[in-house]
Amino acid sequence: MGTGERIRNARKAKGLTQRQLGKTCGIDEANIRKYEANRQNPKLETLLKIASALEVPWITLAGEKCIEYTSGKKSAMRIQRAVDTENAILTLLRNLYKSVEGKEVSGLYGSSFYYLVGEGDNQFILYEGDIDTIKNLALSSLPVLVDRLKDPRPEQAIIEEFEEDLNSDIARDETRAAIEERINQSPDEAGCWLDLLKSLDAQDKKEGAINADNPEAR
């Protein structure tokens, strides 16, 4: 079984048409047909995009051509990171503009690729170089933002702070109030919430007894 058959089988298992697969990974539908018919072999970067869209390991699609595709593990990993970053940028653009569709115009001596972004009157074009510019800007500005947001304390200190907050009287009272509100909102479905409230009451009584026996523990 060749790479084309593997792509076709994975696409059908995912429930996608050739057009949907092409749109998802930014590849022209005509090229998807060529790949599946084994009339053209996708480049490694293209195969990684297809594999990402189908949510399968790229090696599964490559099959016996795996060694042919890679000139070395580091090269494949570098390309995969680049594809992952590009996919993240495209996902962000989709969240902002609702639609990002990869398109290709073919001629006698080559082809040109672009992205149609947005919907209706708000549609505009971005080129591959534009995506690279956005990607490079994101990669260069992200460390600055992370430095402003990061908490440099040791992990154990963070865990202890979380535990203190989660085990505090304030957290208990907030939990009780939320349960009582849920019971008042849906009395007919209050069974499990009443059980949880009883559990909290039992815990309070237990802690009260411990504090009574050990005044210094208060």
43 and 64 both lie in a single domain: yes
Q: How confident is the model at residue 65 (pLDDT cuts 50, 70, 90)?
A: low
Q: Of the residues 149, 180, 196, which one is the last residue of a structural domain?
A: 149
27 and 130 both lie in a single domain: yes
139 and 117 both lie in a single domain: yes
Give percent of the chain with pLDDT exceeding 90: 28
Distance CA 4, CA 31 (A): 11
Q: Which residue has the higher pLDDT, 11 or 58?
A: 11
Query: Residue for token digits 């979380």?
Result: 162
Distance CA 44, CA 55 (A): 16
pLDDT tens for each residue of 140-198 = 888 888 999 999 999 999 999 999 998 888 888 888 888 888 888 887 777 777 777 78
**Helices (H) then strands (E): counts for the chain:** 11, 3
Return the HEC string of 62-75. HHHHHHHHCCCHHH
Task: Indicate if the pLDDT at residue 71 is higher than 70.
Answer: no
Q: How confident is the model at residue 9 (pLDDT cuts 50, 70, 90)?
A: very high
55 and 119 both lie in a single domain: yes
**Segment 27-38 mean pLDDT:** 90
30 and 134 both lie in a single domain: yes
Domain of 211, in residue numbers: 155-217
Q: Of the residues 133, 149, 165, which one is the last residue of a structural domain?
A: 149
Residue type, 114: Y
Q: How confident is the model at residue 105 (pLDDT cuts 50, 70, 90)?
A: confident
89 and 195 both lie in a single domain: no
86 and 9 both lie in a single domain: yes
Task: Indicate if the pLDDT at residue 212 is higher than 80.
Answer: no
Q: Of the residues 99, 126, 149, which one is the last residue of a structural domain?
A: 149
10 and 45 both lie in a single domain: yes
Residue 155, judged by CB atoms within 10 A of its CB (0-12, 13-18, 19+), counts as: exposed
For residue 214, the model assigns a pLDDT of 62
Helix (H, G, I), strand (E, B) or coil at 106: strand
169 and 66 both lie in a single domain: no
Count of structural domains within the chain:
2
Average pLDDT score, the chain: 83
**Segment 122-139 mean pLDDT:** 90
Nearest CA to 55 out of 32, 89, 30, 24 is that of 24
For residue 97, the model assigns a pLDDT of 93
For residue 12, the model assigns a pLDDT of 93
